[in-house]
C-alpha cells in the first residue's frame, strides 16, 4: 500500500542518516592511527549512546568482535561500500546559478564518489564556460547528454518555479534519482527517488529552538 515499498530489512532512515557521521569520526580515528574502536568511542564523539551505534551497524550487516570492538580501517571501508562511496557515480547538475556553482566547487563530493560530469543552464551566455572544471552546457543538450552517458542521478539547483519543468525533463531522459535543492515540491512517477534539500527546514528548526531557549532563559 505504501508508495515506495521497500524491503522489510531496509535500514531505517534515521539510522542511514547517521552513517556519514560515523564515517567522519572514524576517518579521524584512522588518521590518528587508532586500529580498533568500540561503539563507545564513536558514541562519545557524537553525543549518542553506544547501543545506537551497535544497532545501526547491525542494520548495515557490519560485525564487530566482542571484547575487541571494530577494526577501524575495515569499518571505514565497509561503511563506504554500504553507502556506495567506494565507486564513482556520475551525475549532472541543472542550474548554474550561485548555489549550483557552489555545488560544483564542493570538495566533498569527489571523495564520496559523486562525479558531476556537466552543468546545464538556460542562460545562453553561460554556454561553454567552465566552473571548477565542469562545463556549462545549454539546456537543449540535457536530454541527449543524459541518454548518451546513461546518467542516473541529477541535481536540481534552479529557482523553485522552474523545478517541476526540469524534473519532468530529467525523468523523461531516464534519470532515476533527483537531488532537489530548490524549495519546490516536485512530483515524479513512482520508482524515481527524490531527496529534498531545503534550507528553510533548517532555518525553521533553528529559529524555533532559539526562541524556545530564549523563553526558557527568561524564567
Partner DNA sequence: TAGATTGTTAATCGATTAACAATC
Binding site for DNA (CB under 7 A): 12-15, 38-40, 48-52, 54-55, 57-58, 62-70
Instruction: Please identify which residue in 34, 51, 130, 206 interacts with a copy of itself, judged by CB under 8 A.
Output: 206
149 binds a copy of itself (CB under 8 A): no
* Contacts for 164 with CB less than 8 Å, ≥ 6 apart: 184, 186, 187
Report yes or no: 87 and 114 within 8 Å, Cβ to Cβ. Answer: no
153 binds a copy of itself (CB under 8 A): yes
Do the bridges between strand 130-131 and strand 134-138 make them parallel or antiparallel, or are there none, so unpaired? antiparallel
> What x/- string results for residues 72 through 111 when contact with a copy of itself is judged by CB under 8 A?
----------xxxx---x--------xx-xx--xx-xx--
Report yes or no: 133 and 118 within 8 Å, Cβ to Cβ. Answer: no
Tell me which residues touch a copy of itself (CB under 8 A). 3, 6-7, 10-11, 13, 16-17, 19-21, 23-25, 45-47, 82-85, 89, 98-99, 101-102, 105-106, 108-109, 112-114, 132, 152-153, 176-177, 179, 183-185, 191, 193, 195, 197-214, 216
Amino acid at each position: 500500500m505504501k508508495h515506495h515499498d521497500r524491503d522489510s530489512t531496509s535500514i531505517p532512515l534515521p539510522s542511514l542518516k547517521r552513517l556519514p557521521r560515523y564515517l567522519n569520526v572514524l576517518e579521524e580515528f584512522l588518521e590518528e592511527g587508532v586500529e580498533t574502536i568500540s561503539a563507545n568511542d564513536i558514541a562519545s564523539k557524537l553525543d549518542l549512546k553506544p547501543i545506537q551505534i551497535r544497532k545501526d551497524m547491525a542494520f548495515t550487516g557490519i560485525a564487530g568482535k566482542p571484547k575487541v570492538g571494530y577494526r577501524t580501517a575495515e569499518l571505514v571501508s565497509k561503511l563506504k561500500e554500504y553507502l556506495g562511496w567506494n565507486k564513482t557515480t556520475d551525475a549532472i547538475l541543472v542550474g548554474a546559478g550561485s548555489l549550483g556553482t557552489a555545488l560544483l566547487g564542493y570538495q566533498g563530493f569527489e571523495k564520496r564518489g559523486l562525479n558531476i560530469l556537466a552543468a546545464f543552464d538556460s542562460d545562453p551566455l553561460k554556454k561553454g564556460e567552465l566552473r571548477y572544471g565542469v562545463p556549462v552546457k545549454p539546456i537543449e543538450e540535457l536530454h541527449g547528454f543524459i541518454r548518451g552517458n546513461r546518467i542516473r542521478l541529477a541535481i536540481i539547483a534552479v529557482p523553485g518555479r522552474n523545478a517541476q519543468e526540469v524534473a519532468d525533463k530529467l525523468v523523461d531522459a531516464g534519470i532515476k534519482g533527483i537531488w532537489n535543492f530548490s524549495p519546490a515540491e516536485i512530483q515524479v512517477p513512482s520508482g524515481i527517488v527524490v531527496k529534498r534539500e531545503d534550507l528553510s527546514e533548517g532555518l525553521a528548526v533553528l529559529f524555533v529552538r532559539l526562541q524556545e531557549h530564549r523563553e526558557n532563559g527568561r524564567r
